[in-house]
Amino acid sequence: MRRTLFLLLGFIGFCIAAFGVAYLFTPVPSPQEKAIAQGPTFYYSDGKTQIAKTGINRDAVKLDRIPESTRNAVIAAENDSFYDDPGVSIEGTTRAFWSTVTGKQLQGGSTITQQMVRNYYGGIGKERSVTRKLKEVMVALKVDQSKSKDWILEQYLNTIYFGRNAYGVQAAAHAYYDKDVSDLTPAEGAYLAAAIQQPSNFADPTGDQRARAEQRWRAVVGNMVQDGYLTSADAAAMEFPTPGKQKITDVLKGQKGYMVNVAKKELTERRGYSEDEINRSGLKITTTFDKRLMDAMKQAVAQNTPDGMSKKIRTGAVSVDPSTGQVLAFYGGRGYLEEALSSAFGEWAQAGSGFKPIALAAALQDGRSLSTTYDGSSPQTFAGHSLHNDSNESFGMVNLVTATEHSINTAYVNLGQDVGNEKIAKMAEKMGIPASQMNEKQRAAATFPLGIVSLRPVQQAGVYATFADEGVHRTPFVVKSVTDNENEKRTFTEKGNRALSAQNARDATYAMQKVVQGGTGTNAQLPDGRDVAGKTGTTDEGKAIWFNGYIPQMATSVAMFRSDNKPLNIPGYGAYGGQLPAQIWRTYMADAVNIKDYAPKSFGSPSQRPGGGVERPTGPSTPGDTQPPRTTGPSEPPPTTEEPDIPTPPTGLPTIIQPPDGGGGGNNGGGGDTGGGGDDGGGGGGGNNGGGTGDGGGRPGPNG
């Protein structure tokens, strides 16, 4: 008997010693990333309307923001002795050990501290083993000794899973009741507390699920009465708080994925954030996007997209505030889940005649004026290659207003020969076009002023915003501010840099007003008759069509193109920027000025207002001498070298999008209505129903 007692005491002593050693040598691990990670939340420009919350659906809050009734409900449901126990329950832990050893499923016995330890700290795990359970107990005891009970409860309530993809009580409050956690009623708090044990029974409480959920909820309310948190009368008066219908939506559908991706890209590439910081720090990211304008732009595209148009044709549009550089709205494609690469920020298309205003700006800065004249006859020969205007219409000597109004290719190539393509390229850089998108071969080509480089709609919007702000360029940006989980806020702006003088910008604007008033862009006239300036753009074989336009308060670019660089071929429509792109622009801008309450505002006065007359040719000539005879068609077939294919983009938004090799344009290709398809090309056909005119020097068609 004495021997047995001695052995028993020895065993107990050994167990105590072993326990002490285990306690001493079991460190408290570091928090595991997924327990504290919070996905970013993206907002529209008002800072209130949510675009999407991505990543882990958790929004950690301080304990004092959680109603006391909710805290009490959780304690009553999970661990009524929480504030008195040492972090573990001897009875519950014994049951858990026995369950692990025997394999029998017994009632759980983990305290709130133990559950928090499992969820919050790394290296604990959740597998059924004696070793894991012992480690959990040791860490729970140490945490209970080193941390306050309120701290433990706060971490628990921010890490526990409640169902409906909600981690933490704040996310759960939104998921179940569409409200902030601070606004939860006692009944709703009890429901969330009841959900912790078996979240799947509470996610969609209908039928049998509702009966089980209500039974568990009533048990929690009963515990609250028993523990003194509620009176019997209060409990009896409570009604079952049926949660709202579960929202099953893809957070990145439609335009949302484009908005989220371009905001993330800007934060990593321009604002110094790492992807990990964005994805795990619970940042609140307010974008520059006005939801009303985003909706209006989407509607404008839908309203003006012809039935049966190939889905391979992409539409991209961007609207910029010239005074700030903020991107107010954009259209990135039919939907992020269908085509992940944004047609506004990620795709590019040959610029065509939409590039001519950059050449105009370079000429004005170099001392030319709106009255400066150039030979607009057609055809002309440059570097041994024939260049034609749209419909091969031949003009005489034309000033820069007329050359712009009617998008006369030959006049603009002569402008480039006079001013120099390098000065045009430098002006493009000042207006936001990277030098890497204009290679040496393109810069050396006679047709460089005609837009043989490829640009993104956001870049073109930035160019035209420069004219709208009278020569000051701001790089377009999409993130207005970032607030971290400590409520520290960073606000972003873009400093303006002068690209050309204010007066030269006004002069260029005057020429582009003529484009809309009576040139190739008449479809862009707004219903209220306010001042509008802009430029159409069309490329070789109709592979890309643009309208880029602005009022003093807003610049918007619209492009239509194919990613595979093939002709658009839109049944019933010619491939001209003055048609569908201008119509989309007009529909959107007519709504936008009302949404933003923009009063009609006049552009600044030009330094001169040269007449828009055209000198007619009178006899044969050689280019650069007197005018050649007016012709109605090419004297010889123009060369037609195909534009090299643009590389197929990746399916997702890359970290750095490389510019296309060569930016489009063969060495001697035809230029469509802009002459922009080849380095020395030019001349495509006009159309009788062109919604204005062909975009490379032709007169309005009879039905335009």
Q: Which residues are catalytic?
A: 78, 353
CB within 8 Å of 526: residues ≥ 6 apart: 532, 551, 586, 589, 590, 593
CB within 8 Å of 687: residues ≥ 6 apart: 574, 576, 694, 701, 704
Asked if the bond preceding 379 is cis, omega within 30° of 0, the reply is yes
Rounded alpha-carbon distances, angstroms, from residue 378 to 368, 370, 393, 502: 23, 21, 6, 34
Distance CA 502, CA 508 (A): 10
Is 541:670 a contact under the CB 8 Å cutoff?
yes
DSSP assigned state of 314: E
Q: Is 325 left (phi over 0), alpha (psi -120 to 50) or beta?
A: left
DSSP SS3 for 349: strand
Residues in the chain: 704
Rounded alpha-carbon distances, angstroms, from residue 257 to 301, 335, 338, 457: 18, 8, 11, 18
Q: Is 672 left (phi over 0), alpha (psi -120 to 50) or beta?
A: left
Is 468:554 a contact under the CB 8 Å cutoff?
yes
Is 379:392 a contact under the CB 8 Å cutoff?
yes
Burial class (CB in 10 A: 0-12, 13-18, 19+), 436: exposed
Distance CA 598, CA 345 (A): 26
